[in-house]
Structure 1
Amino acid sequence: MTDLLFFSSDLRRPWGARFERMFPAEAQAAIEEANRLCVSDFNGFHMGQPINWLYNPTGDKEFTWGINRFKHLRQLGIAYAVTGHEKYASAALEHIEGWIQTQPCPRHLPAEELLYFQQPGPWRLLETGLRLRQWVYAYHFFQSSARWTPSFEQCFFHSIKEHADFLYDFKASIEINHSIMHMIGLLSAALTFETWEDSEKWRQDACARLEQCMRAQVLDDGAHSELTPHYHMVSLELFVDCAVMLKKRGYRFSGFFDDRIYRMVSFSRCMTRIDGKMAPFADSNAKDAPDLNAAALYFERPEWMLREALHEQFWTVGPDRIQSFLTSDQANLKESHPPVPFAFPSAGYYGMGNERQKLIFDAAALGGPHGHADALSFEYGAFGKTLFVDPGVYTYMETPWRRYFKSTSAHNTVLVDGQDQTPYLRTQSWGTPEARVKVIAWNPESQMICAEHDGYRIRGVTHRRTVWFPDTGEWIIYDWLTGTGTHTYQHRLHSPLLEWEVSKLSGQAGRFLAQGSGLRDDAEEIGCDLLLFGPASMKLDIEDGWESHRTKSKLPLKVVQGLVRADTPVWFITVIRPSGAKEKLTPEAWTLQAGDPDGPPVLRHSTGDAHQEYRMITNS
């Protein structure tokens, strides 16, 4: 048995050469980043020489946490493996040694302070676990380099043990994904340094707690309990990485654990936009497709492969495994999008549509600190383009932008009296009462869902929304707001279509046709026709909005807003059709009929002698 889990020093250069041949762009990018790191340049900020690990030029504590996770060692390791230049090993080991000398373990602090999940500084349990994981990889990359002296090794091994003991002794709640990050570090050390005296107890403890995390955090349908696609993916990747490492040493998690991983993969594959990128509900972004490569390798499912990210698995499984994966018969099959409709009822996410159109409906609970006030919102796309979007996350810092991106106003739902569905307190804290969501009806055969939330109960208002996707290819979204009192209602839809023409149509009710075009950053002639019905006093306007695909970066949107101040109950009916379809939306085919006494109206669609009616479900 050897204290090496991934690769030995004699494989470093041969693997580096194969990495450069297989992934030349990624190899070059790693070398360029490593050159910056050699002069203490972290993301454009000079961190001093030696590095000051507590210096924060941004004011955002995420920056300090980030650099103290030592993820940057991977770039230095790749550059060293590819080129053989000792300067990269020297820089990496100087970073590690300098950190050890200046950041003593704070065991003298009270346990409640050490366990606080927002604790500032480099020894927060999350950073401790993720740093230990990266140091284990650094051991594989730099062991036997010129800078790896006996005295450094002694210092390094002492700190590895100190990190592992710290994670073993101080155990945070298993209810949040941080605990997975704590345990992946402990498991990495236990499995790599398997001959050490304490490694077996570290392994047993990490495995037991990871099993507990899986049971506590992952819902029966496979969604992570935080109900945030991004953090679902983070948790999935960590769980799979732990399973992969364990398998390398001849161990396995329980069958339950593997089954939950598989269900998590299913959720990840469904929760994608029509263009394949991740749907950015709650604190998520839509910049990339979900990277399921680790799970694809673990379960032998090459059709799940995301080729542009496969290099990330190279140093874990090795070049032969990557090459065989790339050349397998299934690898060249184009994986179709998971079928719609789909339902994840434990999570509260539902999908509708066909191969050309897709809508993901949010009937989820708030989900905790990373949630947004977005009950009954949705994302919709057609012909490979997203036409109505969730805003994503712009920043975690407590700024007006943080509040905006989490607000009801920034989502595709109805805003009442300008207030959030759940009161916002600060960046990762919500007030009470929290909006509660209830699914009234779900019919996958006819592609219909109806749900309601009571987030405005202190204002005397309940919001119910029904969505249909009939065979005719339109989408019907029916909003019914019941209760008491006079309120201001804003029916808001956020679109990257930046040019809108609005026409008020005749009729007793408010009736508008809005035609969107000018898809942002896209020359394709695709647009959307939108027919909006509402009370006679309803106005329709277009205003500016924003979405974010990456931190501190905003992209412009247009918000199509139906606005009315009226006595409750109030209703809105929206008919949507992408204008890239062969048939355009025909406004005259859609009319309103009287409903039940004191009930909402009925929408009728007529084609020749055929009629189809859409009624709001009014019972509970």
Structure 2
Amino acid sequence: MTTLAWKINRLKLMGLPEILWRVRQLAQKKASKFGLGLVAQVPAPRLAGAMPALLGEAPAQVDAVALAAAADAILAGRWNVFALRGAQLGFPPRWNCDPKTGTHAPMGLGKQIDYRSERVVGDIKYLWEPSRHLELVTLAQAWRVSGEQRYADGARALLQSWFEQCPYPQGVHWTSSLELAVRLLNWACAWELLGGASSPLFAGAEGQRFQRQWLDSVYQHCHFIQGYFSRHSSANNHLFGEYMGLFVASLVWPCWPASARWQALARRGLEVEALKQNTADGVNREQAVYYQHEVMDMMLLCQLFGQVHGAGFSAAYLERLERLADFIAALLDAGGNMPMIGDADDAQMVRLAHDGAWSPYRSLLASCAVLFGRADFKRKAGAYDDKSRWLLGAAGLLGWDSLAAPAEERPVQAFPEGGYYLLGNGFGTPAEVRLVADCAPLGYLSIAAHGHADALAFTLSLGGEEFLIDPGTYAYHTQKAWRDYFRSTAAHNTVCVDGQDQSEIGGNFMWLRKANASLLAHQPSGPVQLFDGQHDGYCRLSDPLTHRRQVEFDTQKNRVVVKDILQCRGEHEVALHWHFAEGCQVGLDGARVRARGRRLGLTLACAFGAGAQLLRASETPIGGWISRKFDEKSPITTAVWRGSINGTTEIVTEFHWSPTE
């Protein structure tokens, strides 16, 4: 898509207030070329004496071996950045060089750089990620646990190289307020772990110069963020993260007259956005489960930092965080699998656990179990992880041990405002059936940036093993064909009409005309459970078509019957897609499709069209792919039934499962 086309589409989604605001922002950026609005000189900081700290002593039972291995790899110049594993980037790395493409980003004024252009900066996600400085925290943790000076020295070398290569306000690391905010969070964690203002790193004249350099950059970061908040149609998780960075920084470094103002501003914003961006029944409005995890993590971190400094949040804020945890607990199956609904970018706000099997969802549930005294969250978390150990300290471990996990899981099965509904039984047992149906809005605000065209799709997990899945995300700013595929209707377990998506793509993080889904019925109990919903995404066609889907789960017969009712007058080409997890062996058996898992076999029968076509690692058309991690994809099998309809038509698909022989 050309820059002009993108700008036109973006304008379509703005109201007059946003247009006027963006004009002012543009004028502000232009003025910054002449130094207007920039920090000319950082005021001298006034460091307090002993300050409270969230991250003090190393917790008991932390995995010191995994931590040391992670820290040693960093010092050896081996970095993990998305699909790059153990990449030799050096220590310190070249902060303005994209590690994926080798592109060197320009060093002009940050706000003047087109970071969306692959030609100019390479893959911006890869360029930004190391500069969030999660690795700095790893080195600080390793020093705190081991006492080895090389880790503390490495932390200082890492920061000093960044200050030298990324001077305020030059380069791509001074473009996005969210990136600055996440960096501030990690700096705050590292600052505390390294000993705060009295850290041995600040001893002597050289140490004092380093400390002042760090504090000057903190001030510049805070000043930048408060001048460039994400507003209007961009006021999603970015705005929440910006408030988070400003809030935490103002607590950890209350060094300037502006600090109190920044703290009050950020605190008010966090209270408002916590309720605005998350539904009362616990669903983040971006309709992307991984972003729900990110916002929950931001909320949790802000509460814990605030609590330590006597600035915790309101009961309404905490209640909303608890409801968000209810939703995560409801979607997580008995095997710890989470449906990959909506966008995901693998981001962590801060990395405090280094176990390769660590789960961000289970970690949040472990922390929330302690925070809210919820034994059912403890049951879903399964174990107390290292991140929770660091954040909650010795008191948190005592709280965890005092919770008696219930023998039975009883998840919330309806999230009417958020738009998700469960069918199933045997939750949390080897006999579990967990079906998650999507009847939600496309996304949040006018651009719905992180939503996927997945209305009425559902995932199916049996006995803690995934069978029908959401294939994930894969790409963001680059590889447009793949970016569009993974968020398309064809990439989800639902019906595609006339080769079009339910909603119209307007850009990498933008949707134009959007499907509206609505619930008709939900009955999650009894011998036959029911979900019934519809959406109007195809009513924009010349012959308007409404898609209604009824899902019946017969608990006695281990059977799900899906009725796709396509209400229209004329002719349409229809494709019905079912995407299987990579652990399934899928093949045709006459007119049926059979998927074999570890313990169960799932059979699909559908009489529509000429029968099923199986796609696996196909590029023409794209199909048969899953992306478990950002910028990584692997083959799966996708079953597609294609055919023509003329007038209102009902397509019936029957699923039945039984133990494998």
Higher RCO (CA < 8 A, seq sep 6+): 2
Structure 1: distance between partners of 2:407 and 2:174: 42
The residue that corresponds to 1:361 in the other structure is: 437
Structure 2: distance between partners of 1:309 and 1:196: 38
Structure 1: distance between partners of 2:538 and 2:324: 32
The residue that corresponds to 2:589 in the other structure is: 502
Question: Contact conserved, 2:344 with 2:630, CA < 8 A, in 1?
Answer: no
Q: Does 1:525 align with 2:599?
A: yes
CA spacing shift, 1:416–1:352, aligned 2, 3 Å? same
CA spacing shift, 1:327–1:221, aligned 2, 3 Å? closer
CA spacing shift, 1:127–1:565, aligned 2, 3 Å? same
| Unpaired stretches in structure 2, ≥5 consecutive residues | 1-47, 81-85, 101-121, 347-356, 427-431, 617-623
The residue that corresponds to 2:53 in the other structure is: 6
CA spacing shift, 1:338–1:195, aligned 2, 3 Å? farther
The residue that corresponds to 1:468 in the other structure is: 552
CA spacing shift, 1:335–1:263, aligned 2, 3 Å? farther
- Which one of 59, 71, 79 corresponds to residue 134 of structure 2? 71
- Deviation of 1:48 after TM superposition, in Å, equals 5.1
CA spacing shift, 1:556–1:245, aligned 2, 3 Å? same
- 1:526-582: CA deviation from partner (whole Å, max 9, x where unpaired): 111223243xx5422322212121123323322222221231322211121212299
Aligned residue pairs total 541
Q: Does 1:280 align with 2:337?
A: no
Question: Contact conserved, 1:279 with 1:379, CA < 8 A, in 2?
Answer: yes
The residue that corresponds to 1:347 in the other structure is: 418
Question: Contact conserved, 2:99 with 2:127, CA < 8 A, in 1?
Answer: no
Q: Does 1:36 align with 2:115?
A: no
Q: Does 1:449 align with 2:561?
A: no
Question: Contact conserved, 1:527 with 1:579, CA < 8 A, in 2?
Answer: yes
CA spacing shift, 1:581–1:440, aligned 2, 3 Å? farther
TM-score (norm 2): 0.76
Structure 2: distance between partners of 1:252 and 1:269: 24
CA spacing shift, 1:321–1:302, aligned 2, 3 Å? farther
- Deviation of 1:163 after TM superposition, in Å, equals 1.9
Residue identity in the other structure for 2:99:
P
Q: Does 1:574 align with 2:653?
A: yes
CA spacing shift, 1:438–1:87, aligned 2, 3 Å? same
- Which one of 612, 620, 623 corresponds to residue 540 of structure 1? 612
User: Secondary structure of 1:127's partner?
Assistant: helix
Q: Does 1:304 align with 2:304?
A: no
The more displaced of 461-470 and 398-407 is 398-407
- Deviation of 1:50 after TM superposition, in Å, equals 5.1
Question: Contact conserved, 1:126 with 1:178, CA < 8 A, in 2?
Answer: yes
Aligned pairs for 1:591-606 within 5 A: none
- Deviation of 1:283 after TM superposition, in Å, equals 1.3
- Deviation of 1:97 after TM superposition, in Å, equals 2.1
- Which one of 373, 389, 392 corresponds to residue 317 of structure 1? 392
The residue that corresponds to 1:105 in the other structure is: 168
Question: Contact conserved, 1:272 with 1:279, CA < 8 A, in 2?
Answer: yes
CA spacing shift, 1:66–1:563, aligned 2, 3 Å? same
User: Secondary structure of 1:99's partner?
Assistant: helix
CA spacing shift, 1:145–1:38, aligned 2, 3 Å? farther
Structure 2: distance between partners of 1:163 and 1:379: 42
Q: Does 1:57 align with 2:57?
A: no
CA spacing shift, 1:164–1:78, aligned 2, 3 Å? same
Residue identity in the other structure for 1:301:
R
The residue that corresponds to 1:130 in the other structure is: 182
The residue that corresponds to 1:159 in the other structure is: 217
- Which one of 211, 229, 233 corresponds to residue 171 of structure 1? 229
Q: Does 1:92 align with 2:187?
A: no
Aligned pairs for 1:103-502 within 5 A: 103-106=166-169, 120-143=172-195, 144-148=198-202, 149-173=207-231, 175-194=235-254, 196-284=256-344, 288=359, 289-292=361-364, 293-301=366-374, 303-305=376-378, 306=381, 310-318=385-393, 320-330=394-404, 333=405, 336-339=408-411, 342-355=413-426, 356-367=432-443, 368-399=448-479, 400-430=481-511, 432-445=512-525, 447-459=529-541, 460=543, 461-472=545-556, 473-496=558-581, 497-502=584-589
Residue identity in the other structure for 1:532:
C
- Deviation of 1:336 after TM superposition, in Å, equals 4.6
Structure showing greater Rg: 1
User: Secondary structure of 1:29's partner?
Assistant: helix
Question: Contact conserved, 2:54 with 2:305, CA < 8 A, in 1?
Answer: no
User: Secondary structure of 2:385's partner?
Assistant: helix
**Between the two proteins, what is the percent identity of the paired residues?**
27
Question: Contact conserved, 1:452 with 1:465, CA < 8 A, in 2?
Answer: yes
- 1:173-193: CA deviation from partner (whole Å, max 9, x where unpaired): 273011121122222122223
Cα-Cα RMSD: 2.6
Question: Contact conserved, 1:4 with 1:193, CA < 8 A, in 2?
Answer: no
- Deviation of 1:321 after TM superposition, in Å, equals 2.3
Question: Contact conserved, 2:438 with 2:455, CA < 8 A, in 1?
Answer: yes
| Unpaired stretches in structure 1, ≥5 consecutive residues | 108-118, 505-512, 583-620
- 1:260-313: CA deviation from partner (whole Å, max 9, x where unpaired): 111111111112234232211111499944432332232233552436562113
CA spacing shift, 1:559–1:48, aligned 2, 3 Å? closer
Question: Contact conserved, 1:65 with 1:122, CA < 8 A, in 2?
Answer: no
- Deviation of 1:4 after TM superposition, in Å, equals 3.0
